[in-house]
Each structure stands twice: as C-alpha cells, then as structure tokens.
C-alpha cells in the first residue's frame, strides 16, 4: 500500500516537471489572411499577381514573427488553417475539378499558403535548418465549421473566408 502511494506521488511530480518543461503557449491572436482578397470563388490556385501579393504580405508581416520563435528554439508548430463561408463550392470556368466540400477547398487554400511559407523559408533559412522548419508546418481545413460570425449576409460571409496562421510556442 505504501509502495503504491509512493509510486503515485512520484508519478505526480514527474508529470509536473514534464508539464513545466513542455509548457505550450498557443499564440493568443492568429495572424489572419482574408482569403477572398487572394482566391477567387471556389478556387485555391493563385494567379502570378495574387501569388506575389500574398507572398509579400507573408514576408513583410508574418514570416519575421515566425522566424523569431524558430531561431530562438521556441517554435513547436505552425498551424495554417483554412476557413470558408457556408456557400457550397461551385464549378468555375476553366476549373479542372469541383471541390465537393468547403472543408476540402479550405485545406487546398491552406496548402497554398503553406507552400508560400516554404518558399520564403527556403530563401531565408540555412539549408541545414530547412527540414526542421518544414516539419513544423501543419496545414488544415475547417471549411464552414468554425465561422467568426453568422453567414447571414455577404459582409459576414466575407469575414468567414480566411486563412489563419497560428504558432504553437514553448
């Protein structure tokens, strides 16, 4: 009985030490990109102009913040989260495929942003740290399931069409 109690107390203290060592802090405010400013309706591929424009925004206002935590060894993960409104995707002219769900479309958009972050990292980071950085990128698609507000007006739907970049740091 005393041995079980000792083991329980020891396990508790080990858990406290591990939690303190691995304290994860999620960024309080995600860095947000308005998807409809770059992506056309029901599309995830950017034309050259929009690609350059989005890359500039990420380079100027987002990547330096990410790199600061990465260089300090505090960056655990970068979540690139795609979101849409609740309007089902429709086929556009010259579109190869129709996305069957908004979740799928939001994931493809998150992957596009992820690729741009990888491009910037390839230019800014040393080759020996690039794989470590890329391993921390996690694109995901939420579709219409985590709206910022109701989808009752075009203005509100526009707020829901976004890409959020969240850093998980220690």
Q: What CATH number is attached to the domain comprising 165?
A: 3.30.1330.60
Residue 105 lies in a domain: yes
**Global confidence as pTM:** 0.81
pLDDT recorded at residue 43: 83
pLDDT recorded at residue 21: 46
Residue 160 belongs to domain spanning: 24-169
Q: How many domains does the chain have?
A: 1
pLDDT recorded at residue 14: 55
Residue 5 lies in a domain: no
Residue 94 lies in a domain: yes
Residue 61 lies in a domain: yes
Q: Show pLDDT as tens, one digit a residue, over the chain (170 residues).
A: 656 655 555 455 554 444 444 444 555 578 999 988 898 778 888 999 999 999 999 999 999 999 999 999 999 999 999 999 999 887 666 666 667 899 999 999 999 999 999 999 999 999 999 999 999 999 999 999 999 999 999 999 989 999 999 999 98
Residue 10 lies in a domain: no
Residue 60 lies in a domain: yes
Residue 2 lies in a domain: no
pLDDT recorded at residue 77: 96
Distances from the Cα of 121 to the Cα of 42, 72, 144, angstroms: 28, 15, 30
3-state secondary structure the chain: CHHHHHHHHHHHHHHHHHHHHCCCEECCCCEEEEHHHCCCCCCCCCCHHHHHHHHHHHHHHHHHHHHHHHHCCCEEEEEEEEECCCCCCCCCCCCCCCCCCHHHHHHHHHHHHHHHHHHHHHHHCCHHHHHHHHCCEEEEECCCCCCCCCCCCHHHHHHHCEEEEEEEEC
Residue 7 lies in a domain: no
């Amino acid at each position: 009985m005393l041995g079980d109690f000792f083991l329980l107390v020891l396990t508790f203290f080990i858990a406290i030490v591990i939690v303190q060592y691995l304290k994860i802090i999620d960024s309080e405010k995600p860095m947000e990109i308005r998807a409809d400013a770059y992506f056309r309706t029901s599309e995830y591929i950017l034309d050259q102009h929009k690609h350059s424009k989005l890359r500039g925004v990420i380079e100027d206002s987002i990547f330096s913040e990410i790199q600061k935590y990465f260089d300090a060894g505090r960056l655990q993960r970068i979540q690139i989260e795609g979101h849409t409104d609740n309007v089902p995707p429709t086929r556009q002219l010259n579109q190869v495929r129709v996305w069957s769900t908004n979740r799928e479309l939001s994931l493809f958009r998150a992957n596009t942003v992820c690729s741009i972050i990888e491009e910037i990292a390839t230019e800014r980071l040393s080759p020996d740290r690039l794989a470590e950085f890329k391993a921390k990128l996690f694109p995901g698609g939420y579709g219409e399931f985590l709206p910022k507000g109701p989808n009752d007006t075009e203005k509100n739907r526009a707020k829901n069409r976004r890409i959020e970049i969240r850093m998980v740091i220690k």
